[in-house]
Amino acid sequence: MDDKIIAFATLLRHNGLRVSVAEDMDGFRALQLVGLGDRAACKDALRATTIKRAVDAPVFDELFDLYFSGLAPMLRDSANGLMSALQIGDAEFQDLLEALAGLVAELDIQLSDLAKALLRNDTGRLERMLREAATAAKLQTIQRPFQEGRYSHSLAQAIGLGALTEELGELKAQLADATVDPALLQQLRRLIDRRLQDLTDLIKQTVRLELEKQDHSLRENQRLQSLAEKNFYYLSEDEIRRMKEAVTKLAQRLKNVVAIRRRHAKRGKFDLQETLRKNLQYGGVPFKIRFDRRIRDKPQVMVLCDVSDSVRNVSRFMLQFVYSLQDLYSRVRSFIFVSEIGEITQLFEEQDISDAIEHALTGGVINVFAHSDFGRAFRSFHRDYLAAVNKRTTVIVLGDARNNYNLAQEWTLKDIQQRAKQLIWLNPENRLTWGFGDSEMDRYMPFCDLVEECRNLNQLYRVIDRLVR
């Protein structure tokens, strides 16, 4: 059972759920307390010790049922189908199985373990043999529906279907040669043929069941990818809800990439000059290798998000994305603006991220229903917060630069750029529209180190990846 719990935890990780080794151990201890007799109690115990987010609960429930109940219902359905085909009930079915076992013993016929489990309807042993054969056939590596045939063939070979077919054919011949009531013999032949067909069907169903486990991950990744490519402007209410989950998953993926990158960079790069200098005493033979061990400080970030109607969805996910990644930075300060500007850093520290964003975007901090005035907002930031910008600070502005023909006040960006490490502008509009109408992007661009379109989550991901690289 321990191996099954470990394999189940691996399946959860494979489908995007974060389950640590410590949580695996918590699951073992919880099962020791509740026991294995009550299926619902076992499920609740594992869910309580492994699931940390409500959005992961449906995935856990589906995978639990697939993993722990997948083969058992199929085996029960197989037996029920057999009784229906033979037009007999439970009692008659058991009598028929016992009659067959008696004849096999009387004729001293030696059967394989697989044949015994199949003809005695020993579902426990049959399930165990199917799982062992699935492991031998590497069934867990299946990924696409078109692979079902190949893996079914591999599973049939692993469990010994070919040898079983010959064995059951010989059994029918031996029963025919024995003195058996013709009506009983006919039923036994139908029973043997049907059980062989049942095993063939079980092999196909086992492959399909494993594919469903893997498909869950594939479907989730495909759904995440399609959502990440969709324009923020055209999200429905349901897609906005699902986008919040997608933002969290993409942020976690980026955190994992950055963590690996930084871990690999700890040693530093090979320093040729220092290595040669340190090995002069050995005639230049590099006995002592030296690496560049420059300390790379985590960046500080200031995010200025336009939250006017036209870009509110973009700002929502920008704030959530940066909030999810804030442990990659030494300091994150978040601001929102339309005409006036307001800091929401403390709001994020005191409230849940979803509640904080909703509070900020619905007018709890500034008047979000005013007409956009980038120049006024930048002038206020310049007056109140410019002193906090230094050479370790990356300033990110997210907005469409639609200024309603007010003064652009681009000089404020010039001062910010001079003090900051870099100034990045993310514009959710198509680049072809920049500078036309009331857009002031042509005035702001000269004072930005990087200007990018940011109309979907993948574009946002790539910009943040450049930032933390």
Q: State how far the Cα of 134 lies from the Cα of 204, in Å rounded to an integer.
A: 11
- Mean pLDDT value of segment 199-225: 73
Q: Which residues contact 253 (CB under 8 A, 6 or more apart)?
A: none
Residue 296 has pLDDT above 60, yes or no: no
- Mean pLDDT value of segment 236-240: 72
Q: State how far the Cα of 17 lies from the Cα of 51, in Å rounded to an integer.
A: 8
Print burial letters for 50-78: b (CB count within 10 Å at least 16), e (below 16).
bbeeeebeebbeebbebbbebbeebbeeb
- The predicted pLDDT at position 468 comes to 66
Among the ranges 235-249, 319-333, 372-386, which has the highest mean pLDDT value?
Answer: 372-386
Residue 305, H or E segment: strand 300-306
Residue 260 has pLDDT above 80, yes or no: no
Share of the chain above pLDDT 90, in %: 20
- The predicted pLDDT at position 18 comes to 76
pLDDT in tens, 84-120: 877 788 888 888 888 888 888 888 888 899 888 888 8
Residue 364 has pLDDT above 70, yes or no: yes
- The predicted pLDDT at position 55 comes to 66
Q: What DSSP letter does each residue of 80-138 carry, written as one string?
A: HHHHHHHT--HHHHHHHHHHHHHHHHHTT----HHHHHHHTT-HHHHHHHHHHHHHHTT
The fold for domain 298-468 equals Rossmann fold (3.40.50)
- Mean pLDDT value of segment 174-188: 84
Lowest mean pLDDT among 48-62, 221-235, 299-313, 347-361: 221-235
- The predicted pLDDT at position 277 comes to 82
> Which is more confident, 226 or 306?
306
- The predicted pLDDT at position 70 comes to 59
Lowest mean pLDDT among 3-12, 289-298, 423-432: 289-298
- pTM surpassing 0.85? no
pLDDT in tens, 30-56: 888 888 777 788 888 888 888 877 767
- Mean pLDDT value of segment 323-341: 84
Q: What DSSP letter does each residue of 309-324 carry, written as one string?
A: GGGHHHHHHHHHHHHH
Lowest mean pLDDT among 12-16, 95-99, 375-379: 12-16
Residue 459 has pLDDT above 90, yes or no: no
Among the ranges 50-59, 133-142, 229-238, 458-467, which has the highest mean pLDDT value?
Answer: 133-142
The token duo for 40 is 């619902």
Q: Which residues contact 211 (CB under 8 A, 6 or more apart)?
A: 142, 145, 147, 148
Residue 217 has pLDDT above 60, yes or no: no
- The predicted pLDDT at position 196 comes to 87
Going by pLDDT thresholds of 50, 70 and 90, the confidence category of residue 377 is very high
Residue 265 has pLDDT above 60, yes or no: no
- The predicted pLDDT at position 117 comes to 87
